[in-house]
Every structure is written in C-alpha cells, then in structure tokens.
Amino acid sequence: MSQVLEPNIFPSIFWMHQALKNVTIQFNRAERYERQTFRNRYQIYTAQGVVALSIPIENLTTKGSFYDVKISYREKWNINHWRTLVSAYKNAPYFEYFEDDLKLLLLEETEHLWQLISLTNTWIFKTLQWPYQIEMIDRQETHATDFVAEQELLNQINFEPYFQTFSNRLGFQKNLSVLDLIFHCGNDSVDYLQKISV
C-alpha cells in the first residue's frame, strides 16, 4: 500500500502515524512548493516551550516545484539547529543513543530540500526499525495531504501523554516532531504511533 504525503523534514507524530500505515511513502517532486508548511520546519520542546526550527531556502523567483527548492547555508542553520537540539534533549532518556548519527545528518550540506528530507526520513524509519520505501513520483495532478491545514482533525486525536523532559514544568506538548518521541520513548516509539486513535 502507498500514500502520497507532504514531504516533511522531521515529520510530526501524526504524520508518522499516517506513514506507518503504508509500505511505500510517495513524495511528489512535481508538486508546487508552498511556504508556511512543515516541509522545511519542525517543532521541538525546549526549556522555553515549543519552538519551530526552520531551514532557510534560496529565494524562488517563481512558484517552483518542490524538486527545485535549494537550501541556503549562509546562516549556518544546521549548526544552530544541532545546538538547539542538544540543549533541548541532552537529558532525554534516549538522546545519547541517536545523537552521533543525527549530528552527521544535520551537518551534511545537501543542495536541495528534497534530498535532505529523503535523508532525514530514511534515518527516522531506520531508527524506528520500520520497513519502508520512499518513492519519488512526478505527477502534476497528485495532491499531497497537508496536515498543517488539518487542525480540526488534529484537535480530535487522542495523543496519549508520554514523559517529556520539560513536562513537569510546562505540561505535555502533543504532536511535535517525531524526534521528541524518539528521544523520550526510544524503541517504544512505534507502539505509541500505532496506538494513536483518530
């Protein structure tokens, strides 16, 4: 079974719940790139609360396709993201098991956003030990599911609280990047994702 999903850099927990229902995840390269989505951003939980980390992209002169979007490294965002992740998750139970691979992944300077998304998603599925296949398709008529626009659905989902480093002080934060789940739940992450009820 396959499903076309909106490509996300470090997908949300709900995105991963949807992805685990499929053997093949399809990313549509021909899809128009839309700003203000999670293609180039992800949410994590820090001592200051939920923070959205964004990957800067080169200016697009026209509405280009997802396949055309290039990453900008002028701001050294990857180093800043890594430092923020370390600060936020260094005390999480499973962070130390994944930090070396994740650091290498973030510091690798891929040219295009789709390349980095493919690398991060491959790393996530391997980390979760979940059989997967990422397939790039080129179909103008295909529309990916945009989970950013599905706030009503997200409000109906039961996200069972799990331990988070700052939850004692700031409360449980739901549907963050799957990185939050992996760093706090380790090998139990897949069980959590499969038990989400819609």
Q: Categorize the per-residue pLDDT at 59 as very low, low, confident or very high, splitting at 50, 70 and 90.
A: confident
Q: Are 150 and 175 in contact (CB under 8 A)?
A: no
User: What is the rounded average pLDDT for all residues in the chain?
Assistant: 85
- pLDDT at residue 46, rounded to an integer: 97
pLDDT digit string (tens) for 138-171?
766 545 555 455 566 677 788 999 999 999 999 9
Give the per-residue pLDDT at 6.
Answer: 76
How confident is the model over 99-131, as pLDDT tens digits? 999 999 999 899 999 899 989 999 999 999 987
The answer to whether the beta carbons of residues 89 and 95 sit under 8 Å apart is: yes
For residue 139, what are its two tokens? 């179909």
Residue with tokens 């331990």: 163
Report the distance separating Cα 180 and Cα 150, nearest Å: 21
Residue 147's pLDDT is: 46
Long-range contacts of 151-156 (CB under 8 A, 24+ apart): 153/198, 154/14, 156/198
Nearest-angstrom CA–CA distance, 40 and 113: 7
Q: Is 158 helix (H, G, I), strand (E, B) or coil?
A: strand
The two structure tokens encoding residue 6:
């909106």
Looking at the whole model, is its pTM more than 0.75?
A: yes
Short-list 136, 130, 114, 165, CA closest to 17: 130
Taking residue 6's Cβ as centre, other Cβ atoms within 10 Å add up to 21
The answer to whether residues 14 and 147 touch, using CB atoms and an 8 Å cutoff, is yes
More confident site: 43 or 24: 43
User: Average pLDDT for residues 46-69, to the nearest whole number?
Assistant: 85
